A and B are shown apart, each in its own frame.
Chain A
Amino acid sequence: MDFALSEEQTILQDTVREYLRQHCTLESVRLNVQDSITLDADIARGLLDLGLPGIVVPEEFGGAGLGYLDAALVAEALGEAIAPIPFLGPNVVAPYALQSAGSDQQQADWLPKIASGNAVFGIAFSASSSSRSDGSTSVDSGQINGEHTFVIDANDATQFLMASGDSEIYLVDANDVELTLLRTIDRTRSVAQITMNGTPCELLPGSSSNGALRRSIAVGRIMLAADSLGAAQSMLDKSVAYAKERKQFNRVIGSFQAVKHMCAEMAAELEPCKSLIWYAAHSVLAIPEETVVVACHAKAHLSEVAQFVARKSTEVHGGMGFTDLLGLHYWFKRIGLNRQLLGSPDEVREEAAQAQDW
């Protein structure tokens, strides 16, 4: 029994953190997201050098062949740095879905390109993960019609994986869809609406029967939860640092219990979330029968805890927390978007209840 990160996993996460600390500063994020959200080419190249795009792609297809816990650790680091980088769609959910439901040919075609950064998959699952009235599609003789909203990692996508019908996953070329960027509160993650009109599409054949869509959504939820964990941990760290430095009434504010207890509550809520994410991410390959339920809980619980931390952290920073000058709101907003993507906490909890036959 060893419920801990391996040395390699710690090194992986520290390496990504260190890279982002140097290259993905708040100043660079601000510049990057000023006009539109787009992949920062320098950061993307740096992450490619670290092997991140192929992190879960098997070695035979040119990837690193690592697992979903490793991917979650990267997602956590990206959340900490509010990195405006597509990761969960193209580098985690897409290769998972292709390996779960793609034909041999599809895997051979796409997995190497994912690993080399030459294919970037956006993920259009929201109609299945959170069924709002907008965004429905139909497929007829190899062509797909309709629209998807809240497509994740859309802006730089060269391909899309999209849900249609009960459980099918289709592959579509990004050149064949009409893409409208949406403007959410969070400028660090690109979200779009896409419209298909007789767009050629290719079924991932396994998805018709094997539940791959549901499990792919679960993997996406775990990554979003890990991202929120990282963003919330950043906000807590900033709060503690600020509380040790800011003085009022001739004392650092962290010596006041009113402030100290807010920090302690954030830490007490957030610390167990790490273990929840680790377990959920580890389960994807090791205990797949538990993944759907525990992913729902990871997503829902992190949504609540990260929201709590985002709010308290802003309060600890006082008026400065409310300003653009400090930039704390970038983390606040990333947590706010993560909370709703691939299912709001309330929807996801209902799914967890159903999945347990409660």
Chain B
Amino acid sequence: MDLAYSAEYEQFRNELRRFLKENKHRSPDMFATSFTGEERAKAARDWQRLLIEHGYAARTIPREYGGYGAEPDPLKSHIIAEEFARHRVRPGHSGDNRLVPTVLELGTEEQKQWLIPPTVRGEMTWCQGYSEPESGSDLASLTTHAHVDGDDFVINGQKIWTSGANRADMMFCLVRTEPDAPKHEGISYLIFSMDTPGIEVRPLITMTGEAFFNEVFFTDARVPTTQIIGKRGEGWFVANNTLKYEREGLGDPNQTESRLLELVTLMQRETIGGERVIDIPVYRDRLQKLQGRVLAMKYNSMRVLTSRSKGEEPGLPRWIVKLQGCELNHQIANLAIDALGELGTLYYGSPLLRDGGRWQQRYMMDLGLIIGGGTAQIQKNIIGERALGLPKEPKYASESS
């Protein structure tokens, strides 16, 4: 065990710090209010290009597809994330962390050339068409379907929980193309423009009052048959590849730790009967309980990072992150609201509002994240079955075909 970084990594960190110091003013955050939308968009593209040139974005994506082309190094990726967060500078991106790795792994050469460079530059944005009203946890039962007519797939059906569908240029989408095959073998992974005629996007307002998600309706939407990743009927396999990348992001302990520190500040500031909330034993103890959990998850993430940097599969320490991390965020928001009491119920736009109403927003949003991206119950099945080796539920006879 050695918590220090070796000279190579310290040097990498120092170069990054120097870069951030010299270039911070070019980050699109600086254009937030005083520039037009077009200027901000250009600033974002320029910033991304600069970051790729220096290896701080799209780092491991091959050069021929517009990336920096470095060997994967989880420690360096971690240092990049840490320093951007510490300097409060907007990090770059690798295009779309679900789509890009999937195309790189399973797409044709032509698809890679077409999709990856503009995605990495931030000029082609994506949304994910997976969940359907009748297919949530049991995603493979999805019924949005496509039949072939000439050179096109013709898509009909509906998707839901599609984040960013109102802004995205493109969708990667699971569609049933082989109606007679068993459910896992009848799905294809299609990619198409959101401008395709026959696609309608309706915002889905959530309990927070915001529209992070959308419903997407397909009525005879025509997509060329070449716009498929993998073969017909292999979509389930391709999608599982994508889900692997998506779940990584939920429950990040660094975000959890910074929320805990915000909560400490709140409890030191707010008073009940003239006494700081943090000095009142019941609240104080709840805070300490949460801190113990936060520390455990923080060190757990160091363990995961170390496994990755050695090229090992972390196993259980990784599988618990989404379940535990999202629950912990929810509990932190819960204590913040309780510490505020009645003030904690105030929401956007109210007089007397504290911290911009964000604790209520988080309390609700975190519940959404406990459900989304694989519900807590599905997470427990994964832990029970994959990590502990417990048997699956027996299937009903009608499903077993």
Contact = CB atoms under 8 A, between A and B. Distances in A.
Interface of A: 1-6, 69, 240, 243-244, 251-252, 254-257, 260-261, 263-265, 267-269, 271-276, 278-279, 282, 286-287, 294, 297-298, 300-301, 304, 346, 349-350, 352-353, 358
A275 B390 contact: no
B393 to A, nearest CB: 6
Range for the number of chain B residues in contact with chain A? 35 or more
A295 to B, nearest CB: 11
Given A1-B4, A271-B317, A297-B292, A278 B324 contact: no
A353 B287 contact: yes
A305 to B, nearest CB: 8
A243 B1 contact: no
A352 B291 CA distance: 10
A257 B381 contact: yes
B299 interface: yes
Nearest to A243: B390
25 contacts: A1-B4, A1-B309, A2-B1, A3-B306, A6-B1, A240-B388, A240-B389, A252-B391, A254-B384, A254-B390, A260-B385, A260-B390, A263-B390, A264-B388, A267-B383, A268-B323, A275-B299, A275-B317, A278-B1, A279-B295, A287-B3, A297-B288, A304-B289, A349-B292, A353-B287
B154 interface: no
B296 A272 contact: yes
Contacts of B289: 300-301, 304, 349
A300 B288 CA distance: 9
B284 A267 contact: no
B371 interface: no
B3 A282 contact: yes
A267 B394 CA distance: 23
A10 B74 CA distance: 24
B205 interface: no
Contacts of B293: 272, 301
B3 A286 contact: yes
B75 A1 contact: yes
Nearest to A265: B380
Contacts of A240: 388-390
A3 B302 contact: yes
Contacts of B167: none
A268 B5 CA distance: 29
Contacts of A286: 1, 3
Contacts of B5: 1
Nearest 3 A-B pairs (CB), nearest first? A275-B299, A301-B292, A349-B288
A276 B296 contact: yes
Given A256-B393, A260-B380, A273-B296, 5 more contacts: A4-B303, A69-B1, A244-B390, A255-B390, A265-B380
A113 B310 CA distance: 41
Interface in B302-347: 302-303, 305-307, 309-310, 316-317, 320, 323-324
Contact of A353 (B3, B288, B392): B288
B302 A358 contact: no
B2 interface: yes
Nearest to A268: B320
B52 interface: no
B140 interface: no
Contact of A282 (B1, B281, B388): B1
B392 A255 contact: yes
A275 B296 contact: yes
Contact of B384 (A2, A261, A272): A261
B317 A1 contact: no
Nearest to B264: A358
Contacts of B385: 260
Nearest to B324: A268
Contact of A349 (B285, B316, B317, B323): B285
Given A272-B299, A276-B299, A282-B1, A254 B391 contact: yes
B316 A271 contact: yes
A282 B291 CA distance: 19
A294 B288 contact: no
Interface of B: 1-6, 9, 75, 264, 268, 278, 281, 284-285, 287-289, 291-293, 295-297, 299-300, 302-303, 305-307, 309-310, 316-317, 320, 323-324, 377, 379-381, 383-385, 387-394
Contact of B387 (A4, A252, A267, A287): A267
A48 to B, nearest CB: 26
A251 B323 CA distance: 27
* Most A Cβ at <10 Å: residue of B6, B300, B379: B300
Given A260-B381, A267-B383, A346-B285, A1 B9 contact: yes
Contacts of B391: 244, 252, 254-255
B284 A4 contact: no
A272 B306 contact: no
B390 A1 contact: no
Contacts of B281: 350
A272 B3 contact: no
B315 to A, nearest CB: 9
B3 A3 contact: yes
Contacts of A297: 288, 291-292, 295-296
A252 B323 CA distance: 25
A119 to B, nearest CB: 30
B392 A264 contact: no
A22 to B, nearest CB: 25
A264 B317 CA distance: 12
A302 B277 CA distance: 26
A263 B388 contact: yes
Contact of B292 (A3, A252, A263, A300): A300
Contact of A251 (B1, B307, B320, B394): B394
Contact of A1 (B2, B292, B316): B2
B2 A2 contact: yes
Contacts of A276: 292, 295-296, 299-300
Nearest to A237: B388
A261 B287 CA distance: 27
Contacts of A264: 379-381, 383-384, 387-388
B17 to A, nearest CB: 17
B348 to A, nearest CB: 30
A274 to B, nearest CB: 8
A70 to B, nearest CB: 10
Contact of A358 (B2, B3, B9, B284): B284
A294 B306 contact: no
B137 to A, nearest CB: 12
Contacts of A5: 1
Contacts of B394: 251, 255
